Amino acid sequence: MTVPKTEPVERDVALSDLQIAVMRVLWRQGETSVTDVAAVLAEERGLKYTTVATLLTRLEKRGVVGQRRDGRQLVYRALASEPQVRRSMVADLLGSLFGGDARELVAHLVNESEIAPGDLERVRKQLAKMPRKGDIKS
């Protein structure tokens, strides 16, 4: 008998678009049955129950979601948080497309008009709050 995974994921997590869609349902609804996840994704994306069940099974094998049995139903919950997945996937994007240089990523977003002027001001304020390299924390 296998012990269900209940601990949050500690490693990098890269997900496909469909896997992210499944995770978003779990992040919004918390612990949820396959039937409920499938109902949401049938409406949002036209996915069939079997597709959703397969996605959840694969995510569970990777340790990204946990499952338990409730009677005859499987109930799933996210073990990886949304910020963790976002952080991991942005780090992968940064490394693979921008050689690990965050300035290049930000420059790309600004040059491609992906950042509105108000957003740029928010980024400036956030950067001003961050400690600089070499600053000593007291």
Residue 138 — very low, low, confident or very high, per pLDDT cuts 50/70/90? Answer: very low
Task: Give the domain 17-80 fold.
Answer: Arc Repressor Mutant, subunit A (1.10.10)
Q: What is the pLDDT of residue 3?
A: 39
| CA–CA dist 42, 37 (Å, integer) | 8
Q: 83-129 maps to which CATH number? A: 1.10.4040
Whether residue 79 contacts residue 64, with contact meaning beta carbons closer than 8 Å, is answered with yes
Helix (H) or strand (E) holding 32: strand 32-33
Q: Are 37 and 22 in contact (CB under 8 A)?
A: yes
pLDDT at 105: 84
**Cβ contact 61:71 at 8 Å:** no
8 Å CB contact between 9 and 48: no
Domain boundaries, the chain: 17-80, 83-129
What's the whole-number average pLDDT of the chain? 86
**pLDDT value at residue 122:** 84
Burial of 76 (0-12, 13-18, 19+ CB in 10 A): buried
Give the 3-state DSSP-derived string for 45-67, with helices as H, strands as E and coil as C.
HCCCHHHHHHHHHHHHHCCCEEE
Range picked from 85-94, 105-114, 128-137 for highest mean pLDDT: 85-94
How far is it, in rounded angstroms, from Cα 112 to Cα 79? 35
Per-residue tokens: 82: 């949304």
Residue 21 has pLDDT above 80, yes or no: yes
Q: How confident is the model at residue 71 (pLDDT cuts 50, 70, 90)?
A: very high
